């Protein structure tokens, strides 16, 4: 796996799991809310915050049905997105500059070519391709040509579609790719999280970093994903779950929850360990919890040792029980005190 560096932060094997607070359009086209999202992400100690840049008119036709159920009827995708797309370029510039003052990495998902070029002009450190656009090869090609790290979500995608997207990026000479396992269901049920897919992506694309873009409720499943090999966690984020203009608030973590997720990720990382079965912390247990061959009574010098003279007890400071047959029939080289662990120097 190639390690990838974003704003000085390495991502990949042996590195802490990289966290993305997916603010999306939870700013609700209000720059002050965007600032609050950045403040909250910084407080939660995430590595980065990510927004989405789109215009409803470029994203979908007027009567495009919603593919999520938020309980609101007679509303199209265009209706939803048009409420969230009115931040101006100058306001976006302020948002990214503000993130810089808060020492948090800020990037975005562009949904059209104009957004790609605009974000690039803001010196973003990376791009994200949404699951829905994994077949939008012209958009992926333009993003790849900027020669910045590319996160790409794989929700709904077939193996061939994932490979086509990766090939498109690589054909532009860009190999800084982070594939994000994702399930495009809002919210995703735990039984649909399909974390085994992370292992498959690692096997299919061993040269690339694999992460997980999570849509489940809560913080447990993204933490579990690290045991399958996820090196990046993206999770929807809001500073106020009571907000409702953006449909993503309802499945977003707040500041305290995201902070707990970060803590859980650090805990999962240190608990994974390695393939060494005996650890330093077990040294005392090896000596004192295991058993060895011990004398049941005093054994005089030159005495042939019989089974009734010895037992197998703790601590494990003497001859291992696996050598019992070798000890039986041996001769004591000197007097062996009662209730003593036998050593090989004690017998001949």
Where does a domain end: 210, 245, 272? 272
Domain end call among 237, 272, 307: 272
Which CATH number do you get for residue 314?
3.90.1210.10
Domain span at residue 223? 7-272
- What is the rounded distance in angstroms from the CA atom of residue 76 to the CA atom of residue 62? 7
Res 56: pLDDT: 96
Above pLDDT 90, what percent of the chain?
A: 90
Are 308 and 286 in contact by the 8 Å Cβ rule? The answer is no
Backbone angles phi, psi at 235, to 5 degrees: -145, 135
As a whole number of angstroms, the distance between CA 290 and CA 284 comes to 10
- What pLDDT, on a 0 to 100 scale, did the predictor assign at position 206? 97
Percent pLDDT > 70 in the chain is 100
Single pTM value for the model: 0.88
Same domain? 156 vs 111: yes
Residue at a domain's end among 242, 272, 302: 272
Question: Distance (Å, rounded) from C-alpha 157 to C-alpha 197?
Answer: 12
Residue 30, in any domain of the structure: yes
pLDDT at 142: 98
132 and 258 fall within a common domain: yes
Q: Are residues 224 and 142 in the same domain?
A: yes
**CA 110/CA 306 separation, integer angstroms:** 81
Q: How confident is the model at residue 277 (pLDDT cuts 50, 70, 90)?
A: confident
pLDDT tens digits for range 35-51:
999 999 999 999 999 99
How many domains is the chain built from? 2
Whether residues 29 and 158 share a domain: the answer is yes
In a domain, 102, yes or no: yes
Show the beta-strand stretches assigned E in the chain.
4-6, 9-11, 18-24, 48-53, 105-110, 127-129, 150-153, 177-182, 209-214, 232-236, 292-295, 310-313
Residue 151 and residue 251 in one domain = yes
Residue pair 187/217 in contact (Cβ under 8 Å)? The answer is yes
In a domain, 2, yes or no: no
Per-residue pLDDT at 232:
98
Looking at the structure, tell me whether residues 191 and 290 fall in a common domain: no
Together in a domain, 146 and 229: yes
Mean pLDDT of 74-83: 94
Rounded alpha-carbon distances, angstroms, from residue 59 to 136, 198, 273: 12, 29, 45
In this predicted model, what pLDDT tens digit does every residue of 135-192 receive, in sequence order? 999 999 999 999 999 999 999 999 999 999 999 999 999 999 999 999 999 999 999 9
- Residue 78's H or E segment, with its range, is helix 77-82
Same domain, 48 and 117: yes
CATH number at residue 184: 3.20.20.70
288 in the same domain as 140:
no
Q: Do 31 and 74 belong to one domain?
A: yes
| Backbone phi, psi, residue 180, to 5° | -110, 105
């Amino acid at each position: 796996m190639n390690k990838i560096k974003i704003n000085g932060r390495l991502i990949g094997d042996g590195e802490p799991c990289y966290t993305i607070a997916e603010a999306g359009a939870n700013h609700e086209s209000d720059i002050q809310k965007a600032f609050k999202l950045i403040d909250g992400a910084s407080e939660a100690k995430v590595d980065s915050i990510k927004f989405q840049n789109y215009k409803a008119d470029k994203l979908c036709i007027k009567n495009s049905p919603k593919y999520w159920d938020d309980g609101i009827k007679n509303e199209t995708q265009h209706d939803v997105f048009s409420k969230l797309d009115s931040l101006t370029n100058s306001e976006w510039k302020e948002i990214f500059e503000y993130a810089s003052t808060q020492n948090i990495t800020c990037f975005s998902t562009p949904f059209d070519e104009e957004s790609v070029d605009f974000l690039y002009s803001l010196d973003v450190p990376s791009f994200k391709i949404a699951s829905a656009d994994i077949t939008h090869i012209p958009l992926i090609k333009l993003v790849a040509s900027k020669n910045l790290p590319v996160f790409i979500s794989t929700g709904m995608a077939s193996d061939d579609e994932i490979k086509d997207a990766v090939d498109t990026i690589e054909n532009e000479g860009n190999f800084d790719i982070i594939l994000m396992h994702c399930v495009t269901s809002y919210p995703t049920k735990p039984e649909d999280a399909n974390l085994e897919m992370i292992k498959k992506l690692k096997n299919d694309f061993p040269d690339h970093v694999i992460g997980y873009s999570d849509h489940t409720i809560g913080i447990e499943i993204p933490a579990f994903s690290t045991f399958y090999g996820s090196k990046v966690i993206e999770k929807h984020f809001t500073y106020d779950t009571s907000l409702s203009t953006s449909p993503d608030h309802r499945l977003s973590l707040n500041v305290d929850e995201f902070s707990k997720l970060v803590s859980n990720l650090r805990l999962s990382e240190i608990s994974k360990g390695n393939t060494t079965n005996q650890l330093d912390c077990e040294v005392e247990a090896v000596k004192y919890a295991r058993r060895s061959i011990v004398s049941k009574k005093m054994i005089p010098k030159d005495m042939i040792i019989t089974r009734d003279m010895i037992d197998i007890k703790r601590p494990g400071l003497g001859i291992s029980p696996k050598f019992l047959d070798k000890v039986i029939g041996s001769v004591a080289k000197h007097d062996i005190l009662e209730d003593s662990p036998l050593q090989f120097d004690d017998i001949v």
